[in-house]
Structure 1
Amino acid sequence: MLLWVLLSVCCLVTAQQRSSSYSGEYGGGGGKRFSHSGNQLNGPITAFRIRVNRNYIVGLQAQYGTTWSDYKGGKLGDLEEVFLHPGEHIIQVSGKYSSYLRLLEFVTNKGRYLRFGKDYGTSFNAVPLYPNTVLRFFSGSSGSVIDAIGFHWDYPNSGCTHCN
């Protein structure tokens, strides 16, 4: 009987499909920690705001469904705002960093490349571990700039309580 229970549990665990993964953390060790993990419950990423100066990614904010996350980072620099098309998701993020984040380039499932910042520093390329998963939320650390960033991947509507 015990053998049957163990085999059943083992098969159940093996049959469960994994979907979430993490890429990062890219950047330096300074700043105050942040995470948008709770924001993903409002829906998938539908837009983001990136603030850049001549050297760094200064700030970051993302819209999850129709709700904007808290802004993270500094106030100086040019603010750019990008909205994703319906059904469009981020499937890859490349960039560069030194002590701080310098460049972000988002690639979407619709073939768009959205690039912010300066092409200088150590390169990274973040992609999900599992097929058909997309960027669900950001985490990292920030002060007067974005010190470091990480990317969390899962199915587009995974954990979404308010999605249509």
Structure 2
Amino acid sequence: MLLWLTLALLWSPTCWAGALYGRGGGSYFSTTKDNENEITGIRVFIGIGGIIKSIQVRFGSSWSEKYGAPGGTLQEFVLQSGEYITGVDGSYKLFLRHLVIHTSYGRKATFGENSGRSFSAFPDGSEKVLTGVFGQHKLLGISSIGFDWDYPIVR
């Protein structure tokens, strides 16, 4: 009985925000939470065959380290003042292939090519926004990705 209760709690909606999308494997990565600055941009590096090789997140005016495999062609999406990321769609096969970033201003940015298994990630509260990215990567690219959601910083 205890086993079933534990499994039910692990798969409850409150734990769903930590979901990983993709097959996984390899080295783990996670952006460091910035309690002073919001996410203000995303960089995605696309490799041969449309594989998403790596990702960077900008907090305030500073870019995080690059998470994933080396190389790839840079695509960048910078948010406007007061704009937040409110949802992410994507797809994966062996590696992450496609990301669509949705914002609070109704804008979207598309990275890579849509192929494979689709996913949709969004916060569990209507006021929450993207505050971090985590996942796993291998030699050729990102093998899984997940998203941290929280309330915007109150100034």
- Superimposed CA distance per residue, residues 7-50 of structure 1 (whole angstroms, 9 cap, x where no aligned partner): xxxxxxxxxxxx997252001222200111x3322411001110
Deviation (angstroms), 1:147: 0.9
Equivalence for 2:103: 108
**Structure 1: gaps (5+ residues):** 1-18, 159-163
Q: What is the root-mean-square deviation of aligned Cα atoms in Å?
A: 1.9
Deviation (angstroms), 1:109: 0.5
Bigger Cα Rg: 1
TM-score (normalizing by structure 1): 0.79
Equivalence for 1:40: 34
Q: Secondary structure at the match of 2:34?
A: helix
Q: How does 1:141-156 map to 2 (within 5 A)?
A: 141-143=136-138, 144-156=140-152
- Superimposed CA distance per residue, residues 33-83 of structure 1 (whole angstroms, 9 cap, x where no aligned partner): 0111x3322411001110012321111000112222110112222111221
Which runs of at least 4 in structure 1 moved beyond 2 Å after TM superposition?
38-42
Q: 1:87 aligns with which of 61, 82, 86?
A: 82
Equivalenced residue count is 140
Query: Is the Cα contact below 8 Å between 2:36 and 2:153 reproduced in 1?
Result: no
**Structure 2: gaps (5+ residues):** 1-13
TM-score (normalizing by structure 2): 0.83
Equivalence for 1:78: 73
